C-alpha cells in the first residue's frame, strides 16, 4: 500500500483530502453562528460609524460601508445567510459579501477590531435579546397563573407533603406558589442582563488597539451601559452566557415541577385536571388514552437545558487567557437551551391558561385525605388547653376511627369523638370542615381565600394587569 493511500485510509472515508478536509469542517462555525447575523450587522454599523467619527476612515468610506452592510442585512433577511465553510463564520461571510458589493473599501471595516472582540460583542447582544425575550415569556406565564389563581382563590384541594395529603389549601394558593418561583426567575434574568451589559468592542484581539477609537461611543450605540474595562477579560469572558444558562436551568427546574404536577393531576387516579387537547396526544393503540405529551416534553427539556449549562461550564473551566478556539463551542449549548426554554415557557403558558380544573375531584380528595387533622389538633390546643403533643395523639386516634369507617373527620359523631377524649365539645365541628380549615390560615402568605385574593391583587399590580 502506498503512503498516500495509507494516509487517506487513516483519515477516513469522507475526508478524501485528508487533514485539510477535517480542519475545514471542524473549524467552520457558520452552520450555527449564522444566527448572530443581526447582531453582527448592528455591531459593524456601530463600529464603522465610530471609525468615521474619529477620522480613522474617511466619511465616504464609512458611508459606503454602512450602506453595504444595510444591503447585506436586507439579503440575509430575505434569503437567509449562505453557508460557505471556507469563510468559516458569520463575520467573514458578511465581510466577504460586503467586499463583493463595495469592493476593497470593505476591508477598512475591520480596522481596530478583531474577530475576538467582534464575536464577544455579537454574542452578548444575542444573549441580551434572549434574556429580554425570556423575561417577557416568564411574565406571560405569570399572568396566566395569576388569572387562574384569581378564578380559583377559594377552590379547595389537598395540599401535599411527600405527595401525601397534608392540609387543605386552595388551588389559587397553589398556583401562586409558581408565580413566586417565576418572580425569582425574572430577578435572575434581570441580574444576568445587568452584568452582561458592558461592551467588549474595541478590545481587539486581546490587548486593545493603537487606533484612537471611542469605545464609549460604540457601547452607547449598541445600548450597553459602558465598555468593558480589561481587554484580556473582554475577549475571554463568557460569564454572560453562563449566567443565562444558569438562569435558564433554574427556570427549567421550576417549569418542570409544574409540568410534573399537571401530569400527575391529569392521571385517572387523581383526575384533578383536564389538559387542553391542543397540548395532548392520543395513543397509537389505546383509543381511551389522552397523553400529556407537551408537559412530558417540558419536563424532559429541563434535562437538556441543564446539560447545556454543564457543557459550557466544562468547556470554560480550564482555559487560559485570552481567547482559545474551544470557545467556538460556546454558542451551540446557549442556542439549544434558549430554543428549548422558549418552547417550554410557551407550552406551559398554554397549559395553565386552558386547563380545565376538576374542582369536585380536588375537594373530594381533600376531604377523604383527613386534611383537617391538624385543625382538630389546633382546636384541642386552643379550646381545651391541651398540650400540642397530647392533642396530636388524640387526633391520631380520631383519624384511625374515621379511616375504619371510611368517613371524613367532620362526619364522626360527637359521642364517638368524646369517647376518644371527653374534652371534645360540639364547637369542634366548626374547625373540621375543609372550608373552615383554609379560611383559618389567615397569616400573611397563607392559603385563606382572602389572603390569596390580596396576593393576586399585588401580582396584578406588579405585572401591570388591570383588575377585573
By annotation, the residues acting in catalysis are 162, 283
> What is the distance between the alpha carbons of residues 167 and 369, in angstroms, rounded to a whole number?
9
**Shortest CA distance to 201 belongs to which of 50, 33, 38, 35?**
50
Secondary structure (DSSP) of 398-428: HHHHHHHHT--GGGS-HHHHHHH-TT--GGG
C-alpha cell at 10: 487513516
Q: What are phi and psi of 395, to 5 degrees?
A: -65, -40
| Three-state secondary structure call for residue 267 | coil
Q: Which residue has the cell 359521642?
A: 415
| Three-state secondary structure call for residue 291 | strand
> What is the distance between the alpha carbons of residues 135 and 139, in angstroms, rounded to a whole number?
6
> What is the distance between the alpha carbons of residues 261 and 296, in angstroms, rounded to a whole number?
11
Q: What are phi and psi of 165, to 5 degrees?
A: -60, 130
**Shortest CA distance to 335 belongs to which of 113, 67, 32, 88?**
32
Q: Which residue has the cell 478556539?
A: 325
Q: E strands of 137-276, at which residues?
A: 156-161, 164-170, 198-199, 226-227, 273-274
> What is the distance between the alpha carbons of residues 295 and 298, in angstroms, rounded to a whole number?
5
> What is the distance between the alpha carbons of residues 423 and 395, in angstroms, rounded to a whole number?
12
Q: Which residues contact 325 (CB under 8 A, 6 or more apart)?
A: 27
Q: Which residues contact 265 (CB under 8 A, 6 or more apart)?
A: 271, 272, 273
Pairing between β-strand 226-227 and β-strand 198-199 as defined by DSSP bridges = parallel
State which H helix or E strand residue 143 sits in. Answer: helix 115-151
| HEC-encoded secondary structure of 147-165 | HHHHHCCCCEEEEEECCEE
> What is the distance between the alpha carbons of residues 112 and 205, in angstroms, rounded to a whole number?
9
Burial class (CB in 10 A: 0-12, 13-18, 19+), 12: exposed
Amino acid at each position: 500500500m502506498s503512503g498516500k493511500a495509507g494516509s487517506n485510509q487513516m483519515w477516513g472515508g469522507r475526508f478524501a483530502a485528508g487533514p485539510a478536509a477535517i480542519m475545514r469542517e471542524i473549524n467552520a462555525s457558520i452552520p450555527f453562528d449564522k444566527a448572530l447575523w443581526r447582531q453582527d450587522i448592528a455591531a459593524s454599523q456601530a463600529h464603522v460609524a465610530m471609525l468615521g467619527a474619529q477620522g480613522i476612515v474617511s466619511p465616504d468610506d464609512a458611508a459606503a460601508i454602512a450602506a453595504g452592510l444595510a444591503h447585506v442585512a436586507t439579503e440575509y433577511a430575505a434569503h437567509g445567510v449562505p453557508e460557505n465553510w471556507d469563510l468559516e463564520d458569520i463575520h467573514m461571510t458578511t465581510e466577504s459579501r460586503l467586499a463583493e458589493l463595495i469592493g476593497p473599501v470593505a476591508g477598512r471595516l475591520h480596522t481596530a477590531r478583531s474577530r475576538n472582540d467582534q464575536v464577544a460583542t455579537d454574542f452578548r447582544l444575542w444573549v441580551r435579546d434572549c434574556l429580554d425575550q425570556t423575561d417577557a415569556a416568564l411574565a406571560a406565564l405569570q399572568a396566566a397563573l395569576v388569572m387562574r389563581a384569581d378564578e380559583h382563590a377559594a377552590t379547595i384541594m389537598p395540599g401535599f407533603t411527600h405527595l401525601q395529603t397534608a392540609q387543605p389549601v386552595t388551588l389559587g394558593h397553589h398556583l401562586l406558589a409558581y408565580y413566586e418561583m417565576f418572580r425569582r426567575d425574572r430577578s435572575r434574568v434581570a441580574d444576568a442582563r445587568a452584568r452582561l451589559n458592558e461592551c467588549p468592542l474595541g478590545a481587539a484581539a486581546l490587548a486593545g488597539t493603537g487606533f484612537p477609537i471611542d469605545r464609549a461611543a460604540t457601547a452607547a450605540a449598541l445600548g450597553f451601559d459602558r465598555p468593558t474595562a480589561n481587554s484580556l477579560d473582554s475577549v475571554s469572558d463568557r460569564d454572560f452566557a453562563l449566567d443565562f444558562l444558569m438562569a435558564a436551568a433554574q427556570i427549567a427546574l421550576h417549569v418542570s415541577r409544574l409540568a410534573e404536577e399537571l401530569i400527575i393531576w391529569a392521571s385517572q387516579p387523581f383526575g384533578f385536571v383536564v389538559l387542553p387537547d391542543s397540548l395532548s396526544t392520543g395513543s397509537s393503540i389505546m383509543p381511551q388514552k389522552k397523553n400529556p405529551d407537551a408537559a412530558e416534553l417540558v419536563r424532559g427539556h429541563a434535562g437538556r437545558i441543564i446539560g447545556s449549562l454543564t457543557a459550557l461550564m466544562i468547556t470554560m473551566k480550564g482555559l487560559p487567557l485570552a481567547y482559545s478556539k474551544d470557545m467556538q463551542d460556546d454558542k451551540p449549548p446557549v442556542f439549544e437551551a434558549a430554543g428549548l426554554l422558549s418552547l417550554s415557557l410557551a407550552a406551559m403558558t398554554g397549559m395553565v391558561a386552558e386547563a380545565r380544573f376538576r374542582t369536585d375531584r380536588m375537594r373530594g380528595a381533600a376531604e377523604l385525605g383527613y386534611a383537617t387533622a391538624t385543625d382538630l389538633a389546633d382546636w384541642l390546643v386552643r379550646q381545651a388547653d391541651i398540650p400540642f403533643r397530647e392533642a396530636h395523639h388524640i387526633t391520631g386516634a380520631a383519624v384511625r376511627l374515621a379511616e375504619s369507617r371510611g368517613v371524613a373527620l367532620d362526619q364522626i359523631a360527637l359521642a364517638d369523638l368524646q369517647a376518644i377524649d371527653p374534652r371534645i365539645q360540639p364547637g369542634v365541628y366548626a374547625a373540621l370542615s375543609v372550608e373552615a380549615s383554609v379560611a383559618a390560615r389567615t397569616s400573611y402568605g397563607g392559603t385563606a381565600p382572602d389572603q390569596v385574593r390580596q396576593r393576586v391583587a399585588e401580582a396584578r399590580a406588579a405585572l401591570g394587569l388591570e383588575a377585573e
